[in-house]
Structure formats: structure tokens, C-alpha cells
Structure 1
Amino acid sequence: MLAELSIRNFAIIDSLSVSFSKGLTVLTGETGAGKSIIIDAIGLLIGGRGSTEFVRYGTQKAEIEGLFHIHPGHRVYDKCEEFGITISDEDEMVVLKRDITENGKSICRVNGKLVTLSVLKEIGQALVDIHGQHETQYLMQPDKHLFLLDSFGDKDFKQELVSYESTFKDYKEINKQLSELSRNEQEIAQRIDLLEYQYQEIAGSNLIPDEDVKLEEEKRMLSNFERIHGSLQDAYHNLYGEGKALELVSSALADFSQVAALDESLKADEEQFGNSFYVLEELTYKIRDMFDSLEYNPERLNSIESRLDELSKLKRKYGSSVKEMIDYSEKIKKELELIQNKDNHIEELKKKQEKLIAKLEVSGKKLTKRRAETAKVLKNSIQQQLKELYMEKTKFEVVMKRIEDDQFLRTGLDSVEFYISPNPGEPLKPLSKVASGGELSRIILALKTIFSENQGITAIIFDEVDTGVSGRVAQAIAEKIYKVSIGSQVLCISHLPQVAAMSDTHLHISKDTLQGRTVTKVLTLKTDEKVNEIGRMISGVEITDLTRQHAQELLELAASIKKTS
């Protein structure tokens, strides 16, 4: 669940810290007090699109931070592991943080680690699901219905979908290769000329793996010949000769051996001393050999510099190292072979394409069958939910159609659209054309109720889902939202007293003017305060004893419903 939200310099919010509890939290207050701004902040925290308009006037950046408690096995663990983010097994929490600067840039962190906005979005949307008024528009777009249906699919369905998508990916790759090989003759001839020139230039350079590294090392040696020569000479003369280091160490070893012959405890030290002497002696002879083999060759140095210059020019065109240039040469060699033998390759690719088409057809039909089964379960589930929302006479149907023959989509062979018949005797028609605002609110709530049981979302946020409803429908929506909150934390902005009465926690949002600036305040209402706020929601500005009595009755009814839920 979302346990803590901290907001600074965001829109009209100066500084605000809100603690949230389990169950249903309802946010109420006058229009413009800042209720939706808090939800907007949460939306940005989970990767929503930012804007400089969110940064409070006169400040450099807006800061939003949220603390989420998660249960073991939550899918966010896999998401965080995928991006190298650690979640402590002891704390079982995720901290999301997002700053938006005055120039519109975002700085995102998850558990203190800097991440991209896309990573923040992936992790954030595994924690929070926000349903605002705009989602009814989402429901009005038929091309989104397939996604909603597939989201409801079980494990077997999702495995079938993954299998189909894998085959489809291979099919698209074959089509791409065929398209490239089917370009017009002039393009192909120009491509062959370019590739042959590049290949011949690289091949003619007789590249040797790592030769640039070895040549740079040899150049460094020759360029520093005098310094190396002098240093080796000095080192050898200091080690070898009468009265020099090697002779002195040899004499010291002889003296120490005499002592070790009398003291058995020094035998190991004598052996180590001897080994060290022999290592030093071997190193002395190696220095001598290096010194003797050194020969300054200005012609070789010129040759190396010329070769490195040649390699440098090639690198500017074909790769940053000799290895990359050799790899590129192999790549264009294969492409040349492919183009020059394109007729054979096209024939082979077409055979593969035919096999993939047949495989897609089989896999697609299996997917369609699974999808039809899923559609039937979804239909029955939504019908039950709508019945509980006083839409028992409404018929809901998932209409599936086969796309054109020999056509394949990444999602399968089907198009999907939701149809409803709001009134008895009326034919089923596309949801997008016949549903009213109140009906759309109830349908989306029905979908959320169903999906929340399967998606494992930590927090679900409803932003004024009660638009366009009243009376007993409002009470049904209140009860439905509360039932969702039993399995997942729910935050809800509402203007309905019935919804406010069902809350486990009631937050009142207000705004005030302080030192000439607007500030937003959040107050957790106690029982008496809750009665007054619900009374205000019922009657408006003036709260009478009768409205307080009505508010008290709503709270008592809510308490009774909660006991039986």
C-alpha cells in the first residue's frame, strides 16, 4: 500500500506530507481545493508526463516522494530485480522519488537509485492503478477493448499469446528480409558497389587482430629508446659487478647460511633468502639480455607511424578498433553474398514464410479459441457486477471478429469490441455509441472490480468515478468501491456522501492564503468532523440538524454494510 506521500513546490502545494492507511481512504473538499492535484502528484510519481506548469511559481523544482509497503512475492520484486534495484527483505518497501525542474527535466529515483523515467513508469504502474474521468474515454475507444479483454486472460491464455507473439516476431523478420531483397535493381546495384568498395578497402589493408594495440606499444618503446636504454644500463650496472648489489646479496646469503647451519629454526628463512637471490640473479641476466637486444631503428618507427595513420583513417569509417573493422568486414561480406545470391535467398525465405504463415494460422486459431473462452468469463463477470450496480437489465457482450484472411496482427487474428444494450428489447450496439456518462462510470468500475482481484496492484485510485450518478446507484457504487478496498488499498476522490460514509479514513482537503500565497491543507477527520463534512456534501453550504442526522444515518448504514462484507 501507499503509506506516505510527500509533496513540495507542486502546483499550489507548498509543502505537504500525507500518511495513508489500509482500506478505503476518501478525499473530499471544495472544488479547486487541491484534491485532484494530489492525485496528479501520485500520477507523476509513477511515471506520468511532467510539465514545467507543475513547478510552483517562484521555486526551482517540484519534489514528490512516496513510500510503498509491499508483501513478499509482489510482482514489483521482479521488476526491481530486472533493473538492478534492491528491495530489503526486512523492510519490504519501495520508495519512489521524482523531481521536476523549472526547465521541465525529471530526476527519478527508486530506493535511492537513479533511474530513467521509463523505468520509474514500469515500477510505478506495478504499484498504483489510477482511474480518472478520462478512462471513460479509454473505454470509448474500440481499439483498446482487445487489450482489456486480454488483461483478463488466465495463465493458459497468456502462454498461448506469448507463443503466438514469438511466431509473429519471426514472421515479421522474414518479411523484412524479403522486403530488403526485393528493392529495385538500381538500389541493389548501388548497394553492391558500396559494399564491394568497403570490403576491398578493408581486405586490402591486411588487418591483423589487435595490431593497433601492439603497434602503439612498440611505438612507445622506440619513441622512448634513450630513456629505456639508459635506465636498463644503470639497473644492470647497479646489480652486476664487483661490489655491486648481486655480489653483496650473495655474500649476505653465505653469511646467513652459516648461521642457519647452527640454528634449525632458520632453515626455512635460509631457503626463502636463497630463492630471492636466484630470482634477483635471473632478473639481472634478463635486464642484460634486454639491454643487449635494444636497437634504435628510426625506419621502423616511421613505418609504425605510417601504419597507425592508415589504421586511424580506416577507423573513422569502419570501427573504433581493428577488431570492430574486421567484424564489419565479415558483416558486409555476408550481406554481399546475400544480395548477389538474392534469388536463391528469396526462394528460401518464401519457403520459411509459408511455414510461418501456416504456423501463425494454427497458433492464431488456438489463441482465438482461448480468447473466446476468456470473453465468455469476462461477460458473465461484468453482467454480475452490473447487476450489483443496478444495471441488471443491461446486456453486455464481447464481440469478436476475424480480421481479413491472410492478415496477421501482433495480437492475433481477432478484433474485439464491447457491445451493450442498456434497455430491454433494444439490440446490442457498440458501447462507444450508446453508453451514457453514468453507465460508462459503472462499467469501468465493474472492470476495475474484476481486474483488481487478478492484477496484484498495491493501490487503486479513483478520481471522481461517481460522475453522473445519484440515489441508489450512488450507494451501489459506494459499496462496490469499498469491496475493492478489502483486497487492495483504495484512494478515492468523491462528491458523493454515500462514498464518503463508506470510508475507513476520511481526508478533508482545503486551501488557504498564507502570506499572499495559496496553500493546500489535508486534515484527517474524526467522527464528529466526518458527520459535518458528509452533511455539507448532502446540503451544500448550510448544515442543519436534519442534514447532520441524515449524515449520521449514512455512517450507521455504512458500518452495517461493512460488517456483512
Structure 2
Amino acid sequence: MLEELEVRDLGPIHHALLAPARGMTAITGETGAGKSMLLNAIRLISGQTPSTGLVRGDAKQSWVQGVFAVAPDGEAASIAREAGAVLEENDDELFLTRTVPASGRSRAMLSGRSVPRSVLADIAGELVTIHGQSDQLRIAAEAKQREFLDMVAGDDDELRAYGAAWDALREVDDRLARLRTQEASVRQRADYLRDSIDRINAVDPEPGEDVELKEKRARIEHATQISQGVEGALGALDSSQIDVDTGEQGAIDLITHASQALRSIHLDGVFAQTADRLDSLNADLSDIVFSLAQESEDEPKVDDLDGLNARIHALAELTRSWGPDLQDVIAWRDKAILEVEDLDASPEKVSALEERRVQLHREALRCADALSAARRRAARVLSEQVGRELEALAMAGSHLEVRVETRSGTGRESLDAHGRDDIAFLFTRSPGPQLSMGRSASGGELSRLMLALELSAAAQRPEASAVTFIFDEVDAGVGGKAAVELGRRLARLSRHAQVIVVTHLAQVASWADAQFVVSKRDEGDGVVTAVAEVSGESRVREVARMLSGSESRTSLEHARELIRASDLDG
């Protein structure tokens, strides 16, 4: 959900700050006031390429920021984390920022971190759907129509099942292709792999073995220093641990004597407590003596050095060829063994893979048919619901056919990564021929068609609705009762998702939970566009202006009545 939009020096807007409602927000104002600049701001933080002339004439740059509330475990938050944004455990806000200089390249930022603008596009794609004439033409692409239909169908299980079957089939096809095209170079590759595997197996490395051996060699090379150091430490701590009788007491004996001297006082309090501390210290020193004595006993023998060096050299030869470390060498060998099996495949293995392919192809066809059935069911319901919505939106006689054509045949060519369906959204305006979306509808009609699609989708899968819908030109060519129905349906959609609509119709704006007015004023050195939220009587006056262009007593009363009547629960 868009919580806040701030704009600086964008077109005629010097500064604007909007906090849209959770439900429906209307943006109104006289023609030419600059409402389109707010849409341009959202397009900028959505990663779109800035058009020329966006920067205010007396400014060095334009700056736009949108603050979005997101689900911490949602896809938008996941994309943000992958891009390097730091999100705390309870953090549910993302800041999408765009700076466009008067000359030079624009800059995109995500929660204070510079990112490619493609990252903003990916995140905004999860958060915002803009239905303006230039934005919604992307629905004309078959891929987008397929994604929309799958979202409405709720066929996630069928998609996952088909995806797994398709991947398994493609993997077998790739293996068969490699086996059937073996040439001299492939045989040379097999010989090289076998020789490499034999060399690695002859050494039989263990992960991390070279590091352990180098540590062991270092101890042998420093055996004298280690022996002298350990013996000196043991002598200082406990003289009984060394062969030479120095006649001196070690630290353990001295501390024992000190403890006994304190306990001979036979008084509790500080003397007994200090004796306890000395006994505890003695116990720690005894553990240290034991550990040092063990280290001395476990020291590697000097005569092992030649064997260690030979082993280290053999392991180093492996890492030079297949490293950088022994784990990589072992992983390379294991992968090479599988590759050799394919390269050395016998006719029986090819035959076995062909039989496996037949089974996988049959499974892929079964999963594709299940997916096609789910799509056809959803297409029928979607077409019917969109038809009913279009009639209420002053487009009676217009019709959308969601066509799902399953490719015939059972060959490999009938399938692709998305199933075996060709999907098309075909729109018929009244009167007019049936054409693909984008070619058959005007800007306003296309906006209303998209509203009908979103309403129908929300009716079937309300949990799958996009976070924020933005509609522009949706009221073009609409008036009277149809305008009221248009507003009602936008308000209905806002029950499932945030809706922002740019409108010039009072019958639409009256349904909004919040209304912002874009207006122009002359400040002497130029025209400035201001954006302000209206409520109460100021909103009544704005709706009255939209109704009749004036604030007469009649228009004000009409505006109040219109706002009161625009209530889904009323």
C-alpha cells in the first residue's frame, strides 16, 4: 500500500505531499492543473524511463519518493533484501526514491541505498498496477494475459505440477541430445575425465586434509621450540611433571601451601573465602598441566616429516588442477563420474532414457491438460463477469472473450514452459469487430475494461489483489448514471485493495475515502501547481465545482447529497 508520495520540482509542482487513504483516493482539479504529474511521479518510482521536460524550469533536479507498507515476508520485501536493503524484523516500509537532474542520468534509491532502476521496477511491479493509456497496453502481451488468467484461476498447484514435469522432460531431452551427438571431441573429453578421476582417486583426498597436514608439519618443524616451551611451562606450574629435579616448587605447590596456611587460621570469612579461591585456581592450573602434558605426548614424530611433505605435495597438485580447495576437487570428481557415465553410454542406456522420456512426456501432457482445464473454467467465469461489469460501466453490448486454445497433437512441440495453451483476450466494442485488447478500445474504454477485469479478479480471488491500483482516464466519455456506477465499482474494488483514481467527475470523486485537489496559482515569477487534501466543507465546494463549475447554493446542496449517497453500506 502507498502510504505517502512526496514530489519536489516535478513539472509545475514545486512541492507536494500526499498520504492516500487505505481505500479509495480521488485526485481532482481543473484540466491542465497538473494531475498527470502525480502519475508521472509514480511512474518514476516504478522504474520507468523519465521523459524530457520533467524538471521544473528553475530547479536543478526533480525528486520523487514513495513510502510503501509491505508484508515483511512478501515478494517485494524479498526483492528488496536481495538488492541489499536492510529490513529489520518488524520493519514493514520501503522507500522508493528517484532523482532526475535537468541534464544527465537519473538516480534510483531503495530505502537509502542506490540501486539500478530495474530494482524499483521489480518492486513496484509487486506493489502498484497503473491503468493509464500508456501503462495498460502491456496487457496486450500474451504472457501478461496468461499471468492474469492464472492469477484469477488460482491454479498454483497445477502450475507447480506442470513445471516439475516440464523440467524433468527437458532434462531427459538434453541428456538424449548429448548422447546422440557424440563425436571425437566427446570421446576425448571422456578420456580426459577418466584420467582425471583416476588421478584424484589415487590420492583419495579428504576435505580439509591439506590444512590439517600443514598444521601437523608446522608442529614438527617447531618441535624444539614447542618442547622447550611446554617443559618450561610445566616446570613452572608443577615440577613433578619434568624429569629434571630443579629443587624448586611449582605454582601448584606454592598455591597449595598458601591455601593451607589460610585454612590453618580456622576462621570463616575472608580467610576461608580466599582459600576457596586459591583451591579453585589450583584446579584450573591442574587442568592446564594435564592439557600441556597431553600435547607433549601427542607431538608428531620428526621421522613423519618426509611422508607429510609428500602427501601435502600430492594434494597441492590436485588443488592446482581442480581446486581451489580439496572440497572443490572432490565435487569436480563426483560430477565428472556422472558425466563419464553419459559420455560412455551404451545403446541400452539410450534405450532406457528413451523409455523414460516417453513416461515423462505422458506425465507432462497429463499435467498440461489439468492446467488447461483450470484455465478454461476461469476463462468462462471471467468473460461472463467482465461482461456484466462492462454493461454497468456504460459499455453495454461490449464483450470480452478470454480464449484458451489448447494446441493439438501430443508431440513435444505442443508443449512449452507454460503448458500447451495459446491465450488471448479478445475485446468486442459495440458496434465493432472482435480484436485483441489494445487495438479495439480507446484510452477510456481500455481503462474501464481493466477496471472490469480487476473487479472480476477481486471477486474470485480477493486475496490475490494488487496492493495499489491507479486509474487514469477511466471516466473518459462517461456521465450520468454510468458515472455513478463507475464510482461505485472503484469503491467496491477498494474494499480489497488501495485504489487511486484521477478523475474529473464528481460522481466518481464522491465515492472516495480521501480527495486531493490539484490547482494552479500565479506567483508572479511563474505558475505553480499545488496539491492539497480537501475534507468537510472544502470537499463539498470542490465537488460542487466539479458538478457545475460554481459554488452556488444549489450546487453545494447537490454536492452534499451526492457525497452522502456515495456509500457502499448506505
Query: What's the TM-score, normalizing by structure 1?
Result: 0.78
**Amino acid corresponding to residue 368 of structure 1 in structure 2:** S
Q: Equivalents in 1 of 2:304, 2:13: separation in Å?
A: 75
Corresponding residue for residue 180 of structure 1: 178
CA distance in 2, matches of 1:364, 1:81: 32
Q: Report how far residue 392 of structure 1 moved.
A: 2.4
Decide whether aligned partners of structure 1 residues 391 and 209 sit closer, same or farther in structure 2, where only a CA change above 3 A counts.
Answer: closer
One-letter code aligned to 2:454: K
1:191-248 CA distance string (max 9 Å, x none): 3244234334434544233222113313443555565344334323423242232442
Q: Find the residue that maps to 2:418 and give its secondary structure.
A: coil
Contact 1:253 1:273 (8 Å CA) reproduced = yes
CA distance in 2, matches of 1:42, 1:264: 76
Between the aligned residues of both structures, percent identity stands at: 25
Question: Counterparts in 2 of 1:432-447, with a 5 A limit?
Answer: 432-447=438-453
Alignment partner for residue 162 of structure 1, among 160, 174, 189?
A: 160
2: distance between equivalents of 1:143 and 1:473? 32
Separation in structure 1 between the aligned mates of residue 327 and residue 262 of structure 2, nearest angstrom:
55
Which residue does the alignment assign to 1:410? Answer: 417
Q: 1:184–1:289: structure 2 CA closer, same or farther, 3 Å change rule?
A: closer
Cα drift, residue 497 of structure 1: 4.4
After the TM superposition, which of the residue ranges 221-230 and 48-57 deviates more from structure 2?
48-57
**Cα distance change, pair 330–268 in 1 and its aligned pair in 2 (3 A):** farther
Within-5 A mapping of 1:331-350: 331-341=335-345, 343-350=347-354
Which moves more between the two structures, 191-200 or 49-58? Answer: 49-58
Deviations 1:3-50 (A, max 9, x none): 3334457677665432222433221345665534433444555x5346
1:21 aligned to 2:14?
A: no
Alignment length (residue pairs): 544
Query: Which digits, 9 at most, give the CA deviation of each residue in 1:239-282, with x for residues without a partner?
Result: 3242232442454455467667x989999998996686476457
Q: Provide the residue aligned with 1:509 in structure 2.
A: 518
Aligned equivalent of 2:383:
379
Is residue 2:486 matched to residue 1:480?
Answer: no
Per-residue deviation, 1:401: 1.4
Would you say the 8 A contact 2:9–2:55 is kept in 1?
yes
Alignment-mate amino acid for residue 163 of structure 1: A
Partner residue in 1 for 2:398: 394
The separation in 2 between residues aligned to 1:343 and 1:133, in whole angstroms, is 59
Per the TM alignment, residue 553 of structure 1 is displaced from its structure 2 partner at its CA by 3.5
Q: Which runs of 5+ in 1 are unaligned?
A: none
Aligned to 1:243: 248
One of 430, 437, 443 as aligned partner of 1:423? 430
Which residue among 338, 360, 368 is the counterpart of 1:364?
368
**Residue 292 to residue 496, structure 1, CA distance change in 2 (3 Å):** closer
Q: Does 1:48 align with 2:30?
A: no
Q: Let me know the Cα RMSD of the aligned residues.
A: 4.5
Whole-Å separation in 2 of the counterparts to 1:386 and 1:129: 20
Tell me the residue number matched to 1:144. 144
| Contact 1:437-1:468 within 8 A present in 2 as well | no
C-alpha distance in structure 1 between counterparts of 2:442 and 2:89, whole Å: 45
Partner secondary structure for residue 567 of structure 2: helix
Q: SS in structure 2 opposite 1:152?
A: helix
In 2: Cα distance, 1:357 partner to 1:481 partner? 46
Shift of 1:461: 1.6
**How far off its partner does 1:95 sit?**
1.2
- Distance of 1:117 and 1:386 partners within structure 2: 36
Q: Deviations over 1:109-148 (max 9, x none)?
A: 3xx9999988876665554433222244234334533222
Per-residue deviation, 1:341? 1.8
Q: Deviations over 1:318-337 (max 9, x none)?
A: 23321221121111122112
Aligned with 2:516: secondary structure?
Answer: strand
> In structure 1, how many angstroms separate the alpha carbons of the residues matched to 2:132 and 2:308?
69
Alpha-carbon separation, structure 1, partners of 2:356 and 2:342 = 16
Q: Would the alpha carbon gap of residues 188 and 520 (structure 1) be closer, same or farther in structure 2, given more than 3 Å must change?
A: farther
Which deviations, in whole Å up to 9, do the C-alpha atoms of 1:167-192 show, x marking residues without a partner? Answer: 22222222232233333413422432
The 2-side partners of 1:367 and 1:40 are apart by 38
Residue of structure 2 in register with 1:64 after alignment? 65
Tell me the secondary structure at the aligned position of residue 409 of structure 1. coil
Per-residue displacement from partner, 1:32-81 (whole Å, max 9, x unpaired)? 65534433444555x5346698898976994624153x8xxxx7645478
- The answer (yes or no) to whether the contact 2:492–2:568 under 8 Å persists in 1 is no
CA distance in 1, matches of 2:31, 2:211: 70
**Partner Cα distance (2:300, 2:163) in 1:** 66
CA distance in 2 between counterparts of 1:364 and 1:393 reads: 34
Distance 2:426 2:474 in 1: 21
Give yes or no for contact 1:318–1:328 (8 Å, CA) kept in 2: yes
Query: Could you tell me how far apart the structure 2 residues matched to 1:441 and 1:221 are?
Result: 78
Q: Give the corresponding residue for 1:499.
A: 508
Q: 1:246 to 1:11 in 2, by over 3 A?
A: farther
Greater CA deviation, 439-448 or 458-467? 458-467
In structure 1, distance between residues paired with 2:304 and 2:252? 37
TM-superposed deviation, 1:371: 1.9
When structure 1 is superposed on structure 2, of 58-67 and 134-143 the one drifting more is 58-67
- Secondary structure at the counterpart of residue 395 of structure 2: coil
Q: What letter is aligned with 1:345?
A: K
Q: Structure 2 counterpart of 1:64, which letter?
A: Q
CA distance in 2, matches of 1:451, 1:326: 52
Change (3 A) 1:186 1:33: farther
- Cα deviation, 1:401-433, whole Å, max 9, x if unaligned, reads 121422112332221222344337x76554455
1:557 aligns with 2:562: yes
Instruction: Please state how far the C-alpha of 1:108 moved relative to its aligned partner.
Output: 2.0
| Aligned partner letter, 2:156 | K
Task: Please tell me whether the aligned partners of residues 179 and 345 of structure 2 are also in contact (alpha carbons under 8 angstroms).
Answer: no
Asked whether the equivalents of residues 199 and 333 of structure 1 are also in contact (C-alpha less than 8 Å), the reply is: yes
Per-residue deviation, 1:443: 1.3
Cα distance in structure 1, aligned partners of 2:227 and 2:51: 65
Residues 168/275 of structure 1: CA separation in 2 closer, same or farther (3 Å cut): same
